[in-house]
Chains A and B, each alone.
Chain A
Amino acid sequence: MDLSFLVVQFLSGLASASSLFIISSGLTIVFGVTRIVNFAHGSLYMLGAYFAATLIPRLLDLSYGAPSFWAGVILSALAVGVLGVVMEVLLLRRIYRAPELFQLLATFGVVLVVQDVVLQAFGPQDILGPRAPGLRAPVEIMGRRFPSYELVLIAAGPVVLGLLWLLLHKTRFGVLVRAATQDREMVGALGVNQALLFTGTLFLGAFLAGLGGALQIPKAPATARMDLDIIAETFVVTVIGGMGSIPGAFLASLLIGQLQAFGILIFPKITLVLVFLLMALVLVVRPYGLLGRPEAPAGAHAAAFGTPLRPWSSTEKGIALVVLAALLALPLLGDVYLIKVATEILIFGLFAFSLHFLIGTGGLVSFGHAAYFGLGAYGAALALKHFGVPMELALPLAPIAAALGATLFGFFIVRLSGIYLAMLTLAAAQILYAVAFQWVEVTGGDNGLVGVWPAPWASTRLVYYYFTLAFAAAAVLGLRHVIYAPFGYTLRAARDSELRADAVGIDVRRHRWLAFILAGAVAGLAGGLYVFLKGSIDPSALSIPVSVDALTMLLLGGLQTVMGPLVGAAVLHSLKDQIMPLTELWRMMLGLSIIAMVLLFPKGLVGAFEAARERFAGGGR
C-alpha cells in the first residue's frame, strides 16, 4: 500500500462526500424550516437519477457536448424541485402540525407511491446513464488512473456549499429561511407568508436531492432500490452533522466519505458498521450532532396522546374474552389457508404490539423496529442451522438475541429523543440489514436461511397455530400487565414530560432503555415464531418496509388504544393477503392509503371509533 494508492483512495472519498453532502444539505434545509424529516428525500434523489439517465442521452443526441450534459443535469434537478413543490402543496402543508410519527409515515407513503411510479414509468431494468462529455478519460494522479468525472464531483460539494451560503446569507429568502428555522411562528407574526416560504424551501431541498441523483448518473446506474439505500446514509449524515446545520452536513459527509474510502480496506464487507460506530461515538459525545443544537425537550406532542389509558371496563374484558374464544375456535372452520393467515396475523399483531408498547407507553418513536423482529428470526434460525439446536431451544433464543441487540443499540438510542431517535433507530435497522445481506457465509446473504422447520410435533398448521396463539396471548397479556404496572406509569410520565419525570427523581434514560429491550425481546419472539412458520428467513425481514408495516398497523389501529395494534395487524394483513395478488400496484395503494389515513384519521380506526362513541355518549354537546 503506497502513498499514491492512499491519495487516490482519499480523492474518491472526497468525491463520495460531495455527493452525500449535496443530498443531505437538501434534507437538512427542509427539516430546519418545516421540522419534517422527509423520508421521500431518497425518492426525490432517485427521480433525479432516472430523469437524468433518460433526459441526458436525448440532449446528447441533439447536440453532443458538455453543455448538453450539464443542461440535462440542471433540468433534471429543476424537475425534481417542481415535484418537491407539488409534494409540499398537496401533502406536507396539511401535516405541519401533526405528530412527527405521522409526518414520517406520510412521507413514507410518498416513498411507496414513487417506487411504483418509477417501475411503471421507467421499467424494472437499471438504466445506465451516459458519461460526461469531455470527462471520459481518466486523469493520472501520481502514476495512478483516476476518473476525471470524480474530480468534478469533488469540486461540486464545496461549490454547492458556497452557493448555499450565499443564498442563505445574502438574499432575503435565505434570511427568512434561517429565521424560520429558529422560530417559524414569529416569522409569520412579522408578516411573512409561511406557506410560500415553505414551498420555496421544498423546492430548494428537492432540487438538491435531484441534483445529487443526476450527478450520480455517470458513476452508477439509476435503480429502483437507490431511494432507501441513500436515505439511511443521508439520515446518518444529518444526525452526525446536526439536524438543520448545513456546515454540519458538510463536515459529516467528509468524515463518512473518508471512513468509507479507507474503511473498505480494513473491513471490506461492512463499512456501514464503521459508519454506525462513528455515529454512535459522535452521539455519545455530542447528542445533537457535531454542529447541531439541542431541540427543546419534546412534550406529549411527540406522539399525540389524547386520552390517558384506562383499565378495561367489564364490557371490554368481555370483548377480549370473546376474541380469545373466537381465536381458539377458529380452527373449527377447518380451512388450512385461513389458519395460516390467522397465524401470520397473530405474529404481526404481536410484533405491532411490541412497537405499540415502545411508542405508546415509552414515547419512543422507532422507525427500525424490524431490526429486533429480524434479530429474533435470525437468532433462532442460526442456532438451528449452524448449531443444530432443536426448535424448543432455538425459539427462546429469538427474544434473547433480539434483547441483546436492543441492549446494544438501545444504549445509544435512548440518549436521544424525537426525530433524532427515530432516525437512529432506522439507521440501526439498516445496519443489521446490511450485515444480514452482506455476511453471506453466515446469513446466506440475499437468499437467507432455508429449512428452518419446527419440531415434528409442532409441524402441522393446526398445532403451530395454537402454539403461536399461546405465546402471543401470553406475551400480550404480560406486556399489558407491564403497561399498567408502576414501570408503565413511570414510562408514561417520562413520555408526557421528560423534564418533570427527571425532576421527581426518575432515571428516564434507564427506564427507556429497559422498555426498549423489553419491546425488542417481544419483537424477537414474534420473529422467532415467524421463522418457524415460514421455514426460512431473508434480509427483507429486517428492512424498512417491515418496520413501516408495523407502524401502519399502529396507525390503523390507533395509538391511544391498547388493543389497537392487534386490530391494525388483522386489517393490514388481510388487506395485503387479499389485494396484493390482484395488482402490481400494491405499494402505491398502500402508500396512498397511509397518506389518506394520516390526513383523515390521525387517531386510527379504533381511535376514530372511540371518538365517535364519545361524541355519541356525550349527547347534546
Chain B
Amino acid sequence: MTERPILEVEGLAAFYGQAQVLFDVALVLRRGEVTALMGRNGAGKTTTLKAIMGLVSARARKLEFAGHSIAGLTSFRIARRGLGFVPEDRRIFTDLTVFENLEVGRRPAPGGAEPWTPERLFAIFPNLAEMRGRRASEMSGGEQQMLTIARTLMGNPKAVLLDEPSEGLAPVIVELMARAVNAMKAQGVAVLLCEQNLAFASGVSDRAYIVDRGHIRHEGSIAALSADEALRDAYLSV
C-alpha cells in the first residue's frame, strides 16, 4: 500500500492582478522525496511555490498538505502545518544577527522528531558557525543562501519549498547546497526544488516536473529528463 503524498496539488491557477500566470498546475511531492520543478526564467516556478505557500492570489481544485487542505490559509498557518519556504531572493533579515535570523524561524518540532538546532545546522553549514553573532548584512551571497535554508529548517518542517538555491553561487557553494538538500532528505524532509540548473537538480532529485508558460509540460524521473535531449531543448535550454 502506498503512502499518500505529503503535498498534492491539482488545478492550481494563479493571478497577478488580471493576468493569469499559472494554468491548471498539478503536482505531487511524496514523503522523503526530492522533486525538481524545472523551467526557464518566467516559466512559473517561483509563482507555483508562492501560490502553494499562500503568498500570491491563487485558487486550486485541490491543495493538500499532510492530508489536510491548505487552500485559502494565510502563509503563517501553512508554515505552522510544517511546510517550509526558502525564497529565491533569500530575504534574510539583514539587520539581525545570524543567530537572530535562526530564532525568527524557530518553531517546535512535531512529536518524536529530533528538532533542528543551530548546532546541527552549523554542522551542515560550517561557515555559519563562525559568524553567528554577525549581522546578516555583512555576509556574502552564498552565506546568506545557507542562512536562509538554515532559517527555514529551524521551523522543523515536514517539507520544504526550495527556490533556486544554486542561483548565482560559486561551484564550491553549490556543492554545499547539494549537501544541504541531501541532509534534509536524510532527515525525512521532502523537498520541492525549483531549478534551472539541470546538473544541480539531477544530482539531488528523484523526480522532475517541467513547467513552461504556467503549464506543467512533463513529469518523470530525473534520469529520464537528463537523457531526453529533445525535452531539454524544448523547455530548458536557453
The residues of A with any CB-CB pair to B shorter than 8 Å are 172, 175-176, 178-179, 181-183, 185-194
In the bound complex, CA of A182 to CA of B100 (Å): 13
Chain B residues contacting A172 (CB-CB under 8 Å) are: 103
Interface set, chain B 141-171, CB cutoff 8 A to A: 151-152, 155
Q: Which residues of B contact A188 (CB under 8 A)?
A: 74-76, 79
Distance between A333 CB and nearest chain B CB, rounded to angstroms: 47
Contact (Cβ within 8 A) B95 A182: yes
> Contacts A185-B75, A186-B87; is A191 near B107 (CB within 8 Å)?
yes
Interface of A is mostly: helix
For the complex formed, measure the closest distance between the CB of B15 and the CB atoms of chain A, giving whole angstroms. Answer: 15
Further 9 A-B residue pairs, CB within 8 A, beyond A178-B96, A183-B91: A179-B100, A179-B101, A188-B75, A189-B87, A190-B107, A191-B76, A191-B79, A192-B76, A194-B76
Interface residues of B in 78-100 (CB under 8 A from A): 79-80, 85, 87, 91, 93-96, 100
| Complex Cα spacing A182 to B94, Å | 8
CB-defined contacts of B183 to chain A, threshold 8 Å: none
Sample 10 A-B pairs with CB under 8 A, ordered by A number. A175-B96, A178-B95, A178-B96, A179-B93, A179-B104, A186-B93, A189-B76, A190-B105, A190-B152, A191-B80
A246 CB to closest chain B CB (Å) equals 12
Smallest CB separation, B212 vs chain A (Å): 26
CB nearest to A192 among chain B residues? B76
Given A183-B91, A190-B151, are A175 and B76 also a contact pair (CB < 8 Å)? no
A90 to B91, CA, bound (A): 31
B residues within 8 Å of A by Cβ?
53, 55, 74-76, 79-80, 85, 87, 91, 93-96, 100-101, 103-105, 107, 151-152, 155
What distance in Å separates the Cβ of A580 from its nearest Cβ neighbour in chain B? 42
Q: Is the CB of A190 within 8 A of B79?
A: yes
Report how far A193 CA is from B155 CA in the complex, Å: 13
Q: Do A175 and B103 contact each other (CB < 8 Å), given the known contacts A182-B95, A185-B55, A189-B55?
A: yes
Contacts of A183 in B (CB 8 A): 91, 93
B54 to chain A, nearest CB (A): 8
The A/B interface has a contact count, at CB < 8 Å, of 58
Contact A191 B100 (CB under 8 A): no
Partner of A186, one of B91, B100, B107, B155: B91
Question: Which residues of chain B have C-beta atoms less than 8 A from A175's C-beta?
Answer: 96, 100, 103-104
* Chain B residues whose CB sits within 8 angstroms of the CB of A179 once the complex forms: 93, 96, 100-101, 104
Complexed CA–CA distance, A313 and B96 (Å): 55
Taking CB atoms, residues of chain A closer than 8 Å to B91 are: 183, 186
Say whether A182 contacts B76, CB under 8 Å: no
Q: Is the CB of A190 within 8 A of B155?
A: yes
A194 surroundings in chain B (CB, below 8 A) = 76
In this complex, the member of B79, B91, B93 whose beta carbon has the largest number of chain A beta carbons within 10 angstroms is B93
A182 contacts which chain B residues (CB < 8 A)? 93-96
Query: Which chain B residues lie closer than 8 Å to A178 at the CB level?
Result: 93, 95-96, 100
Cβ–Cβ contact A189 & B79, under 8 A = yes
A615 to chain B, nearest CB (A): 14
With both beta carbons as reference points, the residue of chain A lying nearest to B103 in the complex is identified as A175
Question: Which chain A residue lies CB-closest to B107?
Answer: A191
In chain A, what residue has the closest Cβ to B156? A191
Closest Cβ of chain A to B70, distance in Å, is 13
Which A residues touch B55, using CB under 8 A? Answer: 185, 189
Closest residue of chain A to B87 (Cβ to Cβ) is A186
Judge whether A189 and B95 touch: CB under 8 Å.
Answer: no
Determine if A190 and B74 form an interchain contact, defined as CB atoms under 8 angstroms apart: no
CB distance from B63 to the nearest CB of A (A): 16
Q: Of residues B104, B105, B107, which shows the largest number of chain A Cβ atoms within 10 Å of its Cβ?
A: B104
A174 to chain B: closest residue by CB: B100
Give Cα distance in the complex from A190 to B55, angstroms.
Answer: 12
- On whether the beta carbons of B103 and A189 are closer than 8 Å, the reply is no
Assembly CA distance A560 to B103 (angstroms): 44
In the complex where A182-B95, A183-B91, A186-B87 touch, is A193 in contact with B76 (Cβ < 8 A)?
yes
